[in-house]
Protein backbone atom coordinates (compact mmCIF):
# COMPACT_ATOMS: atom_id res chain seq x y z
CA UNK A 1 0.00 0.00 0.00
CA UNK A 2 2.72 2.45 0.92
CA UNK A 3 5.55 1.43 -1.40
CA UNK A 4 5.79 1.93 -5.11
CA UNK A 5 7.88 -1.22 -5.43
CA UNK A 6 9.10 -3.89 -3.01
CA UNK A 7 12.40 -3.38 -1.25
CA UNK A 8 13.37 -6.93 -2.10
CA UNK A 9 12.75 -8.92 -5.25
CA UNK A 10 10.55 -11.67 -3.93
CA UNK A 11 7.86 -12.22 -6.54
CA UNK A 12 9.36 -15.53 -7.63
CA UNK A 13 9.97 -16.86 -4.12
CA UNK A 14 7.46 -18.88 -2.07
CA UNK A 15 5.60 -17.13 0.73
CA UNK A 16 7.69 -17.06 3.91
CA UNK A 17 5.36 -18.53 6.53
CA UNK A 18 5.97 -15.79 9.14
CA UNK A 19 5.10 -13.08 6.61
CA UNK A 20 1.92 -14.92 5.62
CA UNK A 21 0.99 -15.12 9.31
CA UNK A 22 1.65 -11.40 9.80
CA UNK A 23 -0.47 -10.47 6.79
CA UNK A 24 -3.30 -12.76 7.93
CA UNK A 25 -3.21 -11.13 11.36
CA UNK A 26 -3.20 -7.73 9.64
CA UNK A 27 -6.48 -8.57 7.87
CA UNK A 28 -7.94 -10.05 11.07
CA UNK A 29 -7.19 -6.83 13.00
CA UNK A 30 -8.71 -4.69 10.25
CA UNK A 31 -11.79 -6.90 10.29
CA UNK A 32 -11.90 -6.45 14.06
CA UNK A 33 -12.33 -2.73 13.45
CA UNK A 34 -15.84 -3.46 12.17
CA UNK A 35 -16.63 -5.24 15.43
CA UNK A 36 -15.08 -2.44 17.47
CA UNK A 37 -17.25 0.08 15.66
CA UNK A 38 -20.36 -1.79 16.85
CA UNK A 39 -19.06 -2.10 20.40
CA UNK A 40 -18.29 1.63 20.48
CA UNK A 41 -21.92 2.68 19.99
CA UNK A 42 -23.19 4.35 23.16
CA UNK A 43 -19.78 4.18 24.85
CA UNK A 44 -17.59 6.56 22.84
CA UNK A 45 -18.78 9.07 20.27
CA UNK A 46 -17.58 8.73 16.65
CA UNK A 47 -15.60 12.01 16.39
CA UNK A 48 -14.25 11.48 19.88
CA UNK A 49 -13.13 7.97 18.95
CA UNK A 50 -11.34 9.07 15.79
CA UNK A 51 -9.44 11.85 17.59
CA UNK A 52 -8.40 9.66 20.53
CA UNK A 53 -7.37 6.86 18.16
CA UNK A 54 -4.99 9.06 16.19
CA UNK A 55 -3.62 10.82 19.28
CA UNK A 56 -2.47 7.48 20.66
CA UNK A 57 -1.06 6.33 17.32
CA UNK A 58 0.72 9.61 16.58
CA UNK A 59 2.34 9.83 20.03
CA UNK A 60 3.54 6.21 19.89
CA UNK A 61 4.92 6.45 16.35
CA UNK A 62 6.49 9.87 16.84
CA UNK A 63 8.51 8.47 19.74
CA UNK A 64 9.98 5.92 17.32
CA UNK A 65 10.13 7.74 13.97
CA UNK A 66 9.90 11.42 14.90
CA UNK A 67 13.53 12.23 14.12
CA UNK A 68 13.28 10.49 10.76
CA UNK A 69 10.18 12.50 9.91
CA UNK A 70 12.06 15.70 10.71
CA UNK A 71 14.97 14.62 8.51
CA UNK A 72 12.58 14.44 5.53
CA UNK A 73 11.21 17.93 6.11
CA UNK A 74 12.78 19.36 2.89
CA UNK A 75 10.74 16.79 0.95
CA UNK A 76 7.61 17.24 3.06
CA UNK A 77 7.44 21.05 3.06
CA UNK A 78 6.63 21.63 -0.65
CA UNK A 79 3.80 19.10 -0.45
CA UNK A 80 2.50 19.93 3.00
CA UNK A 81 -1.02 20.93 1.93
CA UNK A 82 -1.58 17.84 -0.23
CA UNK A 83 -0.31 15.55 2.55
CA UNK A 84 -2.71 17.13 5.06
CA UNK A 85 -5.57 16.54 2.60
CA UNK A 86 -4.46 12.91 2.17
CA UNK A 87 -4.45 12.37 5.93
CA UNK A 88 -7.86 14.00 6.30
CA UNK A 89 -9.45 11.98 3.48
CA UNK A 90 -7.83 8.60 4.18
CA UNK A 91 -7.57 8.63 7.96
CA UNK A 92 -9.90 11.24 9.49
CA UNK A 93 -12.93 11.42 7.17
CA UNK A 94 -12.87 7.69 6.37
CA UNK A 95 -12.84 6.72 10.03
CA UNK A 96 -15.49 9.26 11.05
CA UNK A 97 -17.85 7.89 8.39
CA UNK A 98 -16.87 4.33 9.33
CA UNK A 99 -17.90 4.76 12.97
CA UNK A 100 -20.98 6.84 12.19
CA UNK A 101 -22.07 4.13 9.74
CA UNK A 102 -21.57 1.51 12.44
CA UNK A 103 -24.37 3.12 14.44
CA UNK A 104 -26.98 2.23 11.82
CA UNK A 105 -25.74 -0.89 10.05
CA UNK A 106 -24.26 -4.25 11.01
CA UNK A 107 -20.63 -5.35 11.22
CA UNK A 108 -21.40 -7.97 8.56
CA UNK A 109 -22.50 -5.24 6.14
CA UNK A 110 -19.54 -3.03 7.03
CA UNK A 111 -17.07 -5.84 6.39
CA UNK A 112 -18.53 -6.94 3.07
CA UNK A 113 -18.91 -3.38 1.74
CA UNK A 114 -15.22 -2.84 2.55
CA UNK A 115 -14.53 -5.66 0.12
CA UNK A 116 -15.51 -3.29 -2.71
CA UNK A 117 -12.51 -1.09 -1.98
CA UNK A 118 -10.06 -2.75 -4.42
CA UNK A 119 -12.61 -2.26 -7.21
CA UNK A 120 -13.01 1.39 -6.27
CA UNK A 121 -9.24 1.78 -6.29
CA UNK A 122 -9.11 0.32 -9.80
CA UNK A 123 -11.73 2.82 -10.95
CA UNK A 124 -9.70 5.60 -9.33
CA UNK A 125 -6.49 4.63 -11.08
CA UNK A 126 -8.31 4.62 -14.43
CA UNK A 127 -9.72 8.09 -13.80
CA UNK A 128 -6.55 9.60 -12.35
CA UNK A 129 -3.81 7.91 -14.35
CA UNK A 130 -5.60 6.54 -17.42
CA UNK A 131 -4.56 3.03 -16.42
CA UNK A 132 -5.45 0.49 -19.09
CA UNK A 133 -7.96 -2.14 -18.00
CA UNK A 134 -9.33 -5.16 -19.79
CA UNK A 135 -12.80 -6.64 -20.03
CA UNK A 136 -12.05 -9.12 -17.23
CA UNK A 137 -11.11 -6.31 -14.85
CA UNK A 138 -14.26 -4.37 -15.75
CA UNK A 139 -16.31 -7.50 -15.07
CA UNK A 140 -14.58 -7.85 -11.70
CA UNK A 141 -15.47 -4.30 -10.66
CA UNK A 142 -19.04 -4.89 -11.82
CA UNK A 143 -19.30 -8.04 -9.69
CA UNK A 144 -18.11 -6.23 -6.56
CA UNK A 145 -20.66 -3.48 -7.15
CA UNK A 146 -23.43 -6.06 -7.60
CA UNK A 147 -22.40 -7.55 -4.26
CA UNK A 148 -22.62 -4.14 -2.57
CA UNK A 149 -26.04 -3.49 -4.12
CA UNK A 150 -27.22 -6.88 -2.88
CA UNK A 151 -26.20 -5.90 0.66
CA UNK A 152 -27.83 -2.46 0.42
CA UNK A 153 -31.04 -4.03 -0.92
CA UNK A 154 -31.07 -6.81 1.70
CA UNK A 155 -31.26 -9.42 -1.04
CA UNK A 156 -33.99 -7.73 -3.07
CA UNK A 157 -32.52 -5.19 -5.54
CA UNK A 158 -35.98 -4.38 -6.89
CA UNK A 159 -36.87 -3.00 -3.47
CA UNK A 160 -34.39 -0.14 -4.02
CA UNK A 161 -36.93 1.38 -6.41
CA UNK A 162 -39.39 1.81 -3.55
CA UNK A 163 -37.31 1.89 -0.35
CA UNK A 164 -34.43 4.07 0.81
CA UNK A 165 -30.99 2.56 1.22
CA UNK A 166 -29.88 2.02 4.81
CA UNK A 167 -28.00 5.25 5.72
CA UNK A 168 -25.23 3.23 7.37
CA UNK A 169 -24.61 1.21 4.21
CA UNK A 170 -24.55 4.38 2.09
CA UNK A 171 -22.13 6.09 4.47
CA UNK A 172 -19.89 3.02 4.47
CA UNK A 173 -19.76 2.97 0.68
CA UNK A 174 -18.90 6.69 0.65
CA UNK A 175 -16.20 6.05 3.27
CA UNK A 176 -14.70 3.33 1.07
CA UNK A 177 -14.73 5.74 -1.88
CA UNK A 178 -12.73 8.25 0.16
CA UNK A 179 -10.20 5.63 1.22
CA UNK A 180 -9.89 4.48 -2.39
CA UNK A 181 -9.09 8.07 -3.39
CA UNK A 182 -6.44 8.19 -0.66
CA UNK A 183 -4.96 4.89 -1.88
CA UNK A 184 -4.80 6.16 -5.46
CA UNK A 185 -3.01 9.31 -4.24
CA UNK A 186 -0.35 7.14 -2.56
CA UNK A 187 1.09 6.49 -6.00
CA UNK A 188 2.65 9.96 -5.91
CA UNK A 189 3.61 10.10 -2.25
CA UNK A 190 6.99 11.57 -1.23
CA UNK A 191 9.97 9.24 -1.46
CA UNK A 192 10.41 8.15 2.16
CA UNK A 193 10.12 4.88 4.10
CA UNK A 194 6.58 3.67 4.60
CA UNK A 195 6.69 3.71 8.41
CA UNK A 196 7.99 7.29 8.41
CA UNK A 197 5.28 8.36 5.96
CA UNK A 198 2.61 6.68 8.09
CA UNK A 199 3.90 8.52 11.18
CA UNK A 200 3.59 11.84 9.34
CA UNK A 201 0.03 11.12 8.21
CA UNK A 202 -0.95 9.94 11.70
CA UNK A 203 0.20 13.32 13.04
CA UNK A 204 -1.83 15.16 10.38
CA UNK A 205 -4.83 12.90 11.07
CA UNK A 206 -4.69 13.91 14.73
CA UNK A 207 -4.67 17.59 13.82
CA UNK A 208 -7.53 17.29 11.31
CA UNK A 209 -9.59 15.17 13.72
CA UNK A 210 -9.38 17.81 16.45
CA UNK A 211 -11.89 20.38 15.04
CA UNK A 212 -14.66 17.78 14.50
CA UNK A 213 -14.04 16.41 18.00
CA UNK A 214 -14.30 19.91 19.51
CA UNK A 215 -17.46 20.61 17.51
CA UNK A 216 -19.00 17.36 18.72
CA UNK A 217 -18.19 18.24 22.32
CA UNK A 218 -19.75 21.70 21.98
CA UNK A 219 -22.85 20.82 19.96
CA UNK A 220 -23.95 17.39 21.17
CA UNK A 221 -26.33 17.37 24.12
CA UNK A 222 -25.39 15.26 27.13
CA UNK A 223 -21.83 14.92 25.84
CA UNK A 224 -19.82 12.54 28.02
CA UNK A 225 -16.34 11.09 28.18
CA UNK A 226 -15.86 7.49 26.99
CA UNK A 227 -17.01 4.74 29.32
CA UNK A 228 -14.65 1.96 30.36
CA UNK A 229 -15.78 -0.09 27.37
CA UNK A 230 -15.29 2.99 25.19
CA UNK A 231 -11.67 3.35 26.33
CA UNK A 232 -11.05 -0.37 25.72
CA UNK A 233 -12.43 0.03 22.18
CA UNK A 234 -10.21 3.06 21.60
CA UNK A 235 -7.13 1.15 22.82
CA UNK A 236 -7.94 -1.86 20.65
CA UNK A 237 -8.39 0.30 17.56
CA UNK A 238 -5.23 2.30 18.23
CA UNK A 239 -3.04 -0.74 18.91
CA UNK A 240 -4.33 -3.33 16.45
CA UNK A 241 -6.06 -1.92 13.32
CA UNK A 242 -4.07 1.33 13.43
CA UNK A 243 -0.51 0.43 14.47
CA UNK A 244 0.15 -3.30 14.29
CA UNK A 245 -1.84 -3.89 11.10
CA UNK A 246 -0.03 -1.07 9.32
CA UNK A 247 3.39 -2.28 10.48
CA UNK A 248 2.59 -5.90 9.59
CA UNK A 249 1.42 -4.82 6.15
CA UNK A 250 4.59 -2.80 5.60
CA UNK A 251 6.63 -5.85 6.58
CA UNK A 252 4.69 -7.93 4.08
CA UNK A 253 5.23 -5.38 1.31
CA UNK A 254 8.96 -5.34 2.05
CA UNK A 255 9.16 -9.12 1.88
CA UNK A 256 6.88 -10.15 -0.98
CA UNK A 257 5.84 -6.99 -2.78
CA UNK A 258 2.67 -4.88 -2.70
CA UNK A 259 0.72 -7.00 -5.19
CA UNK A 260 1.04 -10.28 -3.32
CA UNK A 261 0.68 -8.61 0.07
CA UNK A 262 -2.47 -6.85 -1.09
CA UNK A 263 -4.17 -10.18 -1.83
CA UNK A 264 -4.43 -10.80 1.91
CA UNK A 265 -6.72 -7.75 2.27
CA UNK A 266 -9.40 -9.86 0.59
CA UNK A 267 -9.64 -11.74 3.90
CA UNK A 268 -11.07 -8.66 5.65
CA UNK A 269 -14.74 -9.16 4.65
CA UNK A 270 -14.44 -12.89 5.39
CA UNK A 271 -13.05 -12.32 8.88
CA UNK A 272 -15.48 -9.47 9.57
CA UNK A 273 -18.46 -11.67 8.72
CA UNK A 274 -17.23 -14.54 10.91
CA UNK A 275 -16.43 -12.26 13.86
CA UNK A 276 -19.77 -10.46 13.61
CA UNK A 277 -21.65 -13.77 13.82
CA UNK A 278 -19.49 -15.28 16.57
CA UNK A 279 -18.91 -12.24 18.78
CA UNK A 280 -21.97 -10.09 18.18
CA UNK A 281 -24.52 -12.75 17.30
CA UNK A 282 -25.49 -10.88 14.14
CA UNK A 283 -27.49 -12.66 11.47
CA UNK A 284 -25.78 -13.95 8.35
CA UNK A 285 -28.49 -14.15 5.70
CA UNK A 286 -28.27 -15.84 2.32
CA UNK A 287 -27.67 -12.52 0.60
CA UNK A 288 -24.64 -11.87 2.83
CA UNK A 289 -23.11 -15.11 1.58
CA UNK A 290 -23.99 -14.32 -2.03
CA UNK A 291 -22.60 -10.79 -1.72
CA UNK A 292 -19.40 -12.11 -0.12
CA UNK A 293 -18.86 -14.53 -3.00
CA UNK A 294 -19.56 -11.78 -5.56
CA UNK A 295 -17.21 -9.30 -3.88
CA UNK A 296 -14.33 -11.77 -3.51
CA UNK A 297 -14.77 -13.08 -7.06
CA UNK A 298 -14.91 -9.53 -8.34
CA UNK A 299 -11.74 -8.54 -6.52
CA UNK A 300 -9.96 -11.63 -7.89
CA UNK A 301 -11.01 -10.77 -11.45
CA UNK A 302 -10.18 -7.08 -11.04
CA UNK A 303 -6.60 -8.01 -10.08
CA UNK A 304 -6.01 -9.96 -13.30
CA UNK A 305 -3.50 -8.29 -15.66
CA UNK A 306 -5.09 -6.26 -18.43
CA UNK A 307 -4.92 -8.08 -21.75
Residues 51-100 have pLDDT tens digits of 999 999 999 999 999 999 999 999 999 999 999 999 999 899 999 999 99
Say how far apart CA 214 and CA 52 lie, in whole Å.
Answer: 12
**Residue 17 forms part of a structural domain:** no
**What element of type H or E holds 85?**
helix 80-87
Domains contained in the chain, number:
1
CA 249, 63, 54, 75 dihedral sign is negative
**Residue 232 forms part of a structural domain:** yes
More confident residue, 195 or 161: 195
CA 87, 111, 19, 304 dihedral sign is negative
**Residue 119 forms part of a structural domain:** no
**Residue 305 forms part of a structural domain:** no
Say how far apart CA 187 and CA 55 lie, in whole Å.
Answer: 26
**Residue 128 forms part of a structural domain:** no
Residues 14-38 have pLDDT tens digits of 555 578 788 889 889 988 988 998 8
**Residue 154 forms part of a structural domain:** no
**Residue 100 forms part of a structural domain:** yes
Q: Report the 10 Å Cβ neighbour count for 81.
A: 8
**Residue 208 forms part of a structural domain:** yes
- Look up the pTM and report it: 0.80
Q: Give SS3 for 306.
A: coil
Domain that holds residue 206: 23-106+166-281
Say how far apart CA 59 and CA 263 lie, in whole Å.
Answer: 30
Amino acid sequence: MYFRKPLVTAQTKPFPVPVAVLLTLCSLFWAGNAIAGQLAVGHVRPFQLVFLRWVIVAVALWAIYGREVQSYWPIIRPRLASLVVMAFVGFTAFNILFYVASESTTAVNVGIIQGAMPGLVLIGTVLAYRTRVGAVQVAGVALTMVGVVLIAARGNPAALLHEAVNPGDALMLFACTLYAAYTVALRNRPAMPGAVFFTLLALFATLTALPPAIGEALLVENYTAPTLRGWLVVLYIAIFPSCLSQLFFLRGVDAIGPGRAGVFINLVPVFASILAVLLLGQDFAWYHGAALVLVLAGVWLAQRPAS
